[in-house]
Structure 1
């Protein structure tokens, strides 16, 4: 199964955190399939005031792990890197590493703690931009447009919102 995973960090030694996460994800990969975007530095979105900028990238791996087992592996890695358990952390607070399943093949998964494709993927430039580098023509399950088109649409809408209305 080809799986997209978003990688992000805005706490601690960010470059080192990204390298360690990529090495971990490469270890989960079965066979040779490992796509990785460049690393983007991005402003925090929906985070507490004063949050540091993030480093983000997207990888695609191939795995036979179930979505549930993969989620558990990712969460275990986050905890091993110093991320607080869900019950103790501030929503969208700083984090040494964040690993999100963006897509899991062509599956749509709706469970209380696992929504795939990621529910905000089409609203997040820090996900769509890196993903467009490695899979621009990908159409996510439940979507009608390619990643490249979703990114273009998001940029177009944001440019419209950022403009000052003429008087």
Structure 2
């Protein structure tokens, strides 16, 4: 099943953090090709404390052979292994953030997992990199493509493409 993952970091070596999160996600047993990734973008912090460092963000799409709840669990374990605390204030700085955006055409609204991600269509820093790799994707529960969602988005937050690959050696 094709699954989208948003990656973000604004602490320490943000680029190394994103690439480490990407590499660990790519290395999961249930992950197979094709694996696609957006460029890396620098994003002004949204709804954060003054002085918060800008984020680096990207989106990757993988083929995952297990159920989405297993993927979510694996992503949370990667975050923890990389040093992200399991409890933290909302919109706080983070070494790594791995959000499961969608899982094929599934729609889930369970206490432990909501798919597609409930704020995906309101986040410029997610829609821009997602549109780079899947502009014509229509997310479950949406009537318009990612490109169209982006074009009609009210959020005008600063998102700058850095032209750097998420994959370390590409």
Q: TM-score, normalised by structure 1?
A: 0.89
Which residue does 1:20 correspond to in 2?
Answer: 20
Count the aligned residue pairs: 155
Which residue does 1:52 correspond to in 2?
Answer: 53
1:113 has 2:112 as partner: yes
Cα pair distance change 1:110/1:158, threshold 3 Å: closer
Which structure carries more relative contact order (alpha carbon 8 Å, separation 6+)? Answer: 2
- For 1:58 and 1:34, how far apart are their aligned partners in 2? 11
Contact 2:135 2:147 in 1 (8 A): yes
Deviates more, 1:144-153 or 1:27-36: 27-36
Larger relative helix fraction: 1
Could you give the per-residue CA deviations for residues 26-79 of structure 1, whole angstroms, max 9, x where no partner exists?
A: 113633210100000001112222211000000000011211111110001001
SS of the aligned residue for 2:32 comes to: coil
1:19 Cα deviation after fit: 1.1
Which residue does 1:8 correspond to in 2?
Answer: 8
- For 2:5 and 2:99, how far apart are their aligned partners in 1? 5
Which residue does 1:91 correspond to in 2?
Answer: 90
Instruction: Tell me the C-alpha RMSD between the 2 structures.
Output: 1.2
Larger radius of gyration: 1
Q: Unpaired runs of 5+ in structure 2? A: 157-170
